[in-house]
Amino acid sequence: MINLNLKFSARQQDFFGTLSQRVNSYFKSNNIERTANTEMVIKTIFMFSLYFSPYALLLSGMFTSAWVMAGLCVVMGLGKAGIGLSVMHDANHGAYSNKKWVNTLFGMSLNLIGGTAFNWKIQHNVLHHTFTNVHEVDEDISPRGVIRMAPASTWRPIHQYQHLYAWFLYGLMTFVWIVIKDYYRLTKYYNEGLVKKQKGSIAVEWVVLLFTKLFYLSYMFVIPMVLLPVSFWQVLVGFLIMHYVAGFILAVIFQPAHVIDGTEYPMPDENGNLENNWAIHQLHTTTNFGHKEKLFSWYVGGLNYQVEHHLFPNICHVHYRDIAKIVEQTTKEFNLPYKSKETFFEAIGAHAQQLKILGRKPQTVAPKVALG
């Protein structure tokens, strides 16, 4: 059972108050909306085109080469990840638009590409963004069997090799969502009262989940098999290629932000109290990377600015590069951490190092033996 009754400290509130005032002043003085701008609209069109254009080309029957068709599936995977990183993510945080219906519409793009927006908002917005890197609350670091993401998780001998095999498993992430995890999560969230807390109806959410899964699998499998001279197994291979590309991209973007050498895993005391307030907690558990890599930053939806995103998830990611200087300067003034890696590959290396550290067998303290 997830414990959502943990309490953040009430100390040091002046940091986030000062930072919020400065960020608000930036938007006001520059007469800028905190939501999507023209750049974001263009990016949205591009990401959907990156996903649906190769799909249309596949259905056209223009290409019969297995290699070309596989290549189009790779491009679809890039588009799938791009929609997740750059469109639905902002929308489901309420950051795409000031209009709720626009956020809901673009947030449901996750359902369009096989996921479930309702589940995602509980797992990501409620659990991960509130209790980042807190064992047994943040599902992003929850025990995953063969991958150990937190020091408090149970260690198994196979974990000592996870820094080698985790990369292969990352590619299966979105496929597991489609096949198993969405169904499991909705059941789990209902049993734990999270569906009710989010003012959701379990009946409605099951209908939405099942209908959108059916729609997704229909256009992924049924339509290609009706229009093209292909077998189920050929379509399945293309489906797996697309998901593997998307899953791997999503994993290697999200994991280095929190499971990285130098990050922290705060634990509540026996009364459920955490050491820091919410904002400072985010600084201790979150890492930026690759700020100078502009094309990379554009594709990943600004999620290499994870510190800014965790502090201001309701601000559209296209503004993160501009408020990053304000955030970094304010953390320095308050003598607080602002964790950042120079490049994406440096962050990946630090993530690999953390996987290796977490894969080591925890040291046990030998019991004291009474003498005499």
- pLDDT of the residue at 15: 93
What gap in Å lies between CA 169 and CA 22, rounded to an integer? 42
Average pLDDT of 246-265?
Answer: 94
Q: What type of residue sits at position 133?
A: N
Q: pLDDT, tens digit, for every residue of 163-222?
A: 999 999 999 999 999 999 999 999 999 999 999 999 999 999 999 999 999 999 999 999
Tell me the backbone φ, ψ of residue 7, rounded to 5 degrees.
-120, 130
DSSP 174: H
- pLDDT of the residue at 242: 98
* 114 Cβ neighbours under 8 A, 6+ residues apart: 80, 174, 177, 178, 213, 216, 220
Question: Between the CA of residue 236 and those of 239, 243, 263, what are the distances in Å?
Answer: 5, 10, 39
What gap in Å lies between CA 318 and CA 37, rounded to an integer? 8
Extract the runs of DSSP E, i.e. beta strands, from 190-230.
none
* Residue 8 host element (H or E): none
- pLDDT of the residue at 364: 65
**Poorest-pLDDT segment among 2-6, 122-126, 144-148, 318-322:** 2-6
- pLDDT of the residue at 366: 45
Under the banding of pLDDT at 50, 70 and 90, the label for residue 372 is very low
Q: pLDDT, tens digit, for every residue of 55-87?
A: 999 999 999 899 999 999 999 999 999 999 999
Residue with tokens 């399945």: 236
- pLDDT of the residue at 9: 82
Which of the given ranges, 24-28, 153-157, 258-262, 358-362, has the highest pLDDT on average?
Answer: 24-28
Residue with tokens 């919410």: 278
DSSP letters of 83-124? HIIIIIHHHHTT-S-SSHHHHHHHHTHHHHTT--HHHHIIII
- pLDDT of the residue at 369: 45
- pLDDT of the residue at 1: 61
Rounded percentage of the chain residues whose pLDDT exceeds 90: 87
Q: pLDDT, tens digit, for every residue of 228-238?
A: 999 999 999 99
- pLDDT of the residue at 368: 46
Q: Put residue 114 in one of left, alpha, beta given phi > 0 → left and psi -120 to 50 → alpha.
A: left
What gap in Å lies between CA 40 and CA 19, rounded to an integer? 25
Q: pLDDT, tens digit, for every residue of 302-331?
A: 999 999 999 999 999 999 999 999 999 999
Name the token pair of 303. Answer: 């999620």
Average pLDDT of 250-279?
Answer: 92
Average pLDDT of 127-151?
Answer: 90
Average pLDDT of 139-148?
Answer: 84
pLDDT at 333 exceeding the cut of 50: yes
pLDDT at 137 exceeding the cut of 80: yes
Under the banding of pLDDT at 50, 70 and 90, the label for residue 371 is very low
Q: What type of residue sits at position 182?
A: D
**How far apart are the two ends of the chain, measured CA to CA in Å?**
46
* Residue 27 host element (H or E): helix 13-29
Average pLDDT of 153-168?
Answer: 95
What gap in Å lies between CA 283 and CA 5, rounded to an integer? 21
Average pLDDT over all residues of the chain: 93
What gap in Å lies between CA 314 and CA 137, rounded to an integer? 22
pLDDT at 357 exceeding the cut of 70: yes
pLDDT at 370 exceeding the cut of 90: no
Alpha carbon of residue 220 to chain centroid? 24
Average pLDDT of 25-44?
Answer: 96
